[in-house]
Amino acid sequence: MNQKKIIAVIDGDGIGPEVIAQSIKVLNAIAHRFQYNFEYNHALMGAVAIDETGNPLPQKTIDVCMASDAILFGAIGHPKYDNDPSAKVRPEQGLLGLRKALELYANIRPVTAYTALHHLSPLKISNIDGVDLVIYRELTGGIYFGKKEINETKTIAIDECKYSKEEIVRISHLAFSAAQKRRKKITLIDKANVLETSRLWRLIVKEIALEYEDVELDFLFVDNAAMQIILNPKQFDVILTENMFGDIISDEASVIAGSLGMLPSASLGNKYALFEPIHGSYPQAAGKDIANPIGSILSTAMMLDYFNMNEAATLIREATEWAIANSYVTKDIDPVNFYFTSTIGDIISEYICSAEHGIVNIDNILLRKSTVI
């Protein structure tokens, strides 16, 4: 195995730089402990890239990503564009453009319910205890990338939703293979009672299911699925869905974990892979050292799995669970007794460096605990 990896690092906007800084700390701890060599190449995307270059996705960024083994990405979006429907250039175009340029067609979002965080979820503890599901969201097709039109008088607009067989086939195989390694159940979420694209999804996914006899396949309309995720999330193992439904369902599913800040994701294509937390740029928290870095840190664990550095990935997850179980958490989790973003990064890195003797030396770090009085 090649132990050297080149990682493209895109901080992006808002809290992006702060959470990515913790991921880099954690990766450096992993490199130290496992004798790996990670080289980081930084690149611009989003509102920061617009400010500096006028382009949310400079060609240089695509080049840096293409020359790397994987991409680590923070967050995208800035309020100055959100409420301006006439803005021609938007930060989000950077991320959408990168997904398309690198053909990152499969977005994988695992949702775990941590026992120590059950109380934060508005859902009943008995319903979320033990939830372990993963969403396979198609990422480069559908309404996100269809033809967009608005008439001159700005009274009619169109967003086309289009899917090809090939686009459905490639992500479906990934989802079925994942299900085989899990509890062997796939739920396809669609709107086949209304949409032609959804009917195509059903047709093709049913065909593919024949190749995976050990996997049980069922179907849910997205409106019902939105309700089922809240009512009985334990019924789900692998969720397979198209781009837009996956975007919505994954934010919804994050309430199971107790905070949007907890969830990581991987966006995979055949050649490239990008890892990012599912949370957005959270501009209100930017620069305050209060954002939750766990989604980003767990995304690095997904990256290490992708590199087949599974022991290292497992150690990151163990360190994270240890931090949560011992109440080393950010303000979104505990608004009174919270730790700063950078302190959580230090604690998790310290665990990684020192856990071999079962003793974690965090005394110095703990002096930096923040308590709201």
Active site residues: 144, 191, 223, 247, 251
Which of residues 281 and 330 has its CB atom nearest to ligand IPM in the complex? 281
Measuring CA to CA, which residue among 82, 83, 78 is closest to residue 284? 78
Q: How far is the CB of 61 from ligand IPM (least distance, A)?
A: 16
The one of ligand IPM, Mg ion, none whose footprint includes residue 76, by CB under 5 to 8 A per kind, is ligand IPM
The one of Mg ion, ligand IPM, none whose footprint includes residue 237, by CB under 5 to 8 A per kind, is none
Backbone torsion region of residue 333, taken as left when φ is above 0, otherwise alpha when ψ lies between -120 and 50, otherwise beta? alpha
Give the Cα separation of 137 and 267 in Å (integer): 9
The one of Mg ion, ligand IPM, none whose footprint includes residue 95, by CB under 5 to 8 A per kind, is ligand IPM
The one of ligand IPM, Mg ion, none whose footprint includes residue 92, by CB under 5 to 8 A per kind, is ligand IPM
Residue with the two structure tokens 């959804």: 198
Q: Are the beta carbons of 348 and 319 closer than 8 angstroms?
A: yes
The one of Mg ion, ligand IPM, none whose footprint includes residue 242, by CB under 5 to 8 A per kind, is none
| Strand partners for 75 | 12
Phi, psi angles (nearest 5°) of residue 132: -150, 95
Residue of minimal Cβ distance to ligand IPM: 92
Measuring CA to CA, which residue among 356, 367, 353, 366 is closest to residue 31? 353
Window 45-84: contact mask with ligand IPM (x via CB under 6 A)? -------------------------------xx-------
Residues 219-278 within binding reach of ligand IPM (CB under 6 A):
247, 278
Q: Are the beta carbons of 9 and 20 closer than 8 angstroms?
A: yes
Give the Cα separation of 339 and 370 in Å (integer): 5
Residues 218-247 within binding reach of Mg ion (CB under 5 A):
247
Window 241-280: contact mask with Mg ion (x via CB under 5 A)? ------x---------------------------------
Which listed residue (15, 44, 49, 95) binds ligand IPM by CB under 6 A?
95
Which of residues 36 and 73 has its CB atom nearest to Mg ion in the complex? 73
Residues 185-214 within binding reach of ligand IPM (CB under 6 A):
none
Helix (H) and strand (E) counts in the chain: 14, 14
Taking contact as CB under 6 A, which single stretch among the options 92-100, 110-118, 168-176, 213-221 is the one that binds ligand IPM? 92-100
Which of residues 266 and 316 has its CB atom nearest to Mg ion in the complex? 266
Taking contact as CB under 6 A, which single stretch among the options 89-97, 167-175, 182-190, 194-202 is the one that binds ligand IPM? 89-97
| Strand partners for 189 | 220, 241
Which of residues 247 and 276 has its CB atom nearest to Mg ion in the complex? 247
Residues 148-177 within binding reach of ligand IPM (CB under 6 A):
none
Helix ranges (DSSP H) in the chain: 16-34, 47-53, 59-66, 79-82, 92-101, 125-128, 165-180, 196-209, 222-231, 243-257, 294-306, 310-325, 341-354, 363-366
User: Cα torsion at 243, 245, 248, 250 (round to 10°)?
Assistant: -80
List of residues contacting Mg ion (CB under 5 A)? 247
List of residues contacting ligand IPM (CB under 6 A)? 76-77, 92, 95-96, 247, 278
